[in-house]
Each structure stands twice: as structure tokens, then as C-alpha cells.
Amino acid sequence: MTAAISTTGRRFSPENVRLAKVMAQELGIPYIARNRESIEELREQHGCSLILVAKRGLLVLDTPDGELFFHPNMAHLRLKNLRLGEGDHMVTAMDLRAGMSVLDCTMGLGADAIVASYAVGSGGKVTALEIHPFVAAVIGYGLGHSLGDNYDMHEAMRRIRVLSADYLDFLCSQPDRSFDVVYFDPMFRHPLMESANLNPLRGIADHRPVSPEAIAEARRVARHRVVLKENSRSMEFERLGFTEMVGGKYSRIRYGVIKV
Ligand SMILES: C[S@@+](CC[C@H](N)C(=O)[O-])C[C@H]1O[C@@H](n2cnc3c(N)ncnc32)[C@H](O)[C@@H]1O
């Protein structure tokens, strides 16, 4: 996919121009000085399907399916539930406790990584991988620079280490038993279309199914658990050897657990 980076069309600040130029260099894509062209005009003029925009000190990815941006609110309710002692199915499936380390193989928009980071606390460690370099850039930059709703969320966001990488390559490069939990939340085989926040991701995300090889590597790298999130009726759990399930009775989402 061809891509470029620019700023907003009006009232762009020198800081945003600087950010766009730095990211252009980092990502190896052209910087386009913006006048008053619309995103559509930029797409046509420069033959790009994806345009990154430096906007209000953050990055937005303009895709043909809408804008992808970092939004801390996606984890807001889940952190609130954890604070109130009401739990979270993902945290239960991972059996997270303070000080643990988590490898989130599929960062996407970063909500699960924030919840995991909050659950393991300041003594824990979350590494989040995302194969799409622009998704990794937008969400990674947001986690590192956007304000959390409150101090705890803010700190949880800042502690996440983001890498743009293929999880299979990354897993193969890790020593045995180097993370407590290895987590996969792939694009579902049968998507739940009501998850509208994932819409801008659908056209650009990597949709390949998780391979048995990746699960074998995850089992080697995990000390405690391997967890897979999928549609509750998915056959992926069986195919990949997940026999224990966690999730709400009426929820359309399940977490498959392998205890290692
Ligand atoms: C459903 S989204 C994850 C959503 C995420 N858990 C959240 O809370 O926002 C799946 C993401 O995994 C990424 N992905 C798929 N295959 C990957 C791979 N082999 N390595 C790294 N990331 C991958 C996709 O590009 C997509 O962004």
C-alpha cells in the first residue's frame, strides 16, 4: 500500500509539521506539505491509499474505511470495572497479577494492552506487537503521548513497549519462558460487525489465521498461560488446542486458555 504523511489542511502548527517530518523519516514515507487540499485530493495527487496526518500533536491514519486514531476511552470502562473489583474476562483468562509480564501479539488499537498494563501494574511489563507499521505508529505514538483519563490509565499507557513486528518472527526470537502470558486477539474469522471501532482497521489489518506453529512458539515462550480471544462460536479454539474457556455466558466473545 502506498502512503504519505501530512498535516491538517488548516491551522496546522509548526509542532505538527515537525512531527509529520520526523515520522516520515522514521516510517520511510514521503512528507507532503499541505495547503488546503482535502485528503481525497491528496490521495489522487500523490497516488496514496493511506495518508497519515499529524493532528493536534498526535497521528491519525486516514484509510478508505475511515480514520484510525488512538482513543484511551476504549479501555476506560474496563479499568473502572477493575478498580471497582468487578473483574475483566481477559484479565481472568490471563490470570494476571501485579508484576507479571505480558506479550500482546496483536496490539491493534491498544485497548487490551492498556488493560493488561494496568492489571500488572508498575512492576509488570507489557510488550505489544503490531504487524502494520502505520497502525503501530499511530497507536504507539498515542500510547506514548496522549493523556490518559486519569493517572493510573496514563501510567499504564506509558509503560507499554510497542514494536512493529510479525508475532511469529518475534516469538521465534525469544528465549523459552520469557513472558508470563502470551496473548492473541486476531481479526476474527467471522467478524462481529457491531465492533464499529475496528472498522478503519478491517481493510488494512493482517487477517491471516493464527497458525499451530505460532501457538507452539507461544507455549514455549510463555511461563504461565497462552490466551486466544475469538468469537464465542469460533472453531479456532479447537483447531489450535484451546480447551479451557473464559467469558460471560451471553457474551459473543470468548477467551481460550492454555495453561503451560
Ligand atoms: C483484532 S485486532 C486487535 C485488537 C486489540 N486487541 C485491541 O484491544 O485493540 C488484531 C490486530 O493484530 C494485527 N496482526 C495480525 N496478524 C499479526 C501478526 N502476525 N503479527 C503482529 N500483528 C498482527 C492486525 O494487523 C490487527 O491490527
Where in the chain are the domains?
A: 3-56, 73-259
pLDDT at 238: 97
d(CA 141, CA 181): 24
Q: How far is the CA of 205 from the centre of ligand 1 (A)?
A: 7
Taking the CA of residue 121 as centre, how many other CA atoms within 13 Å lie in the half-sphere pointing to its CB? Answer: 8
Q: How far is the CA of 33 from the centre of ligand 1 (A)?
A: 31
Whether residue 230 has pLDDT greater than 80: yes
Which of 73, 76, 131, 170 has most ligand 1 atoms within 8 Å of CB, for mutation? 131
Q: Tell me which residue has its CA closest to atom 5 in ligand 1.
A: 108
**Residue 194: pLDDT band by 50, 70, 90 thresholds?**
low
Q: Tell me which residue has its CA closest to atom 4 in ligand 1.
A: 108
Q: Tell me which residue has its CA closest to atom 1 in ligand 1.
A: 187
Query: Could you give the percent of the chain with pLDDT greater than 90?
Result: 85
Q: What is the pLDDT of residues 15-46, one digit of tens each?
A: 999 999 999 999 999 999 998 899 999 999 99
Q: How far is the CA of 60 from the centre of ligand 1 (A)?
A: 18
Whether residue 164 has pLDDT greater than 80: yes
Distance of CA 109 to the CA centre of its chain: 4
Whether residue 75 has pLDDT greater than 80: yes
Q: Tell me which residue has its CA closest to atom 15 in ligand 1.
A: 206
Start-to-end Cα distance in the chain: 39
CATH homologous superfamily of 73-259 = Vaccinia Virus protein VP39 (3.40.50.150)
Whether residue 12 has pLDDT greater than 80: no
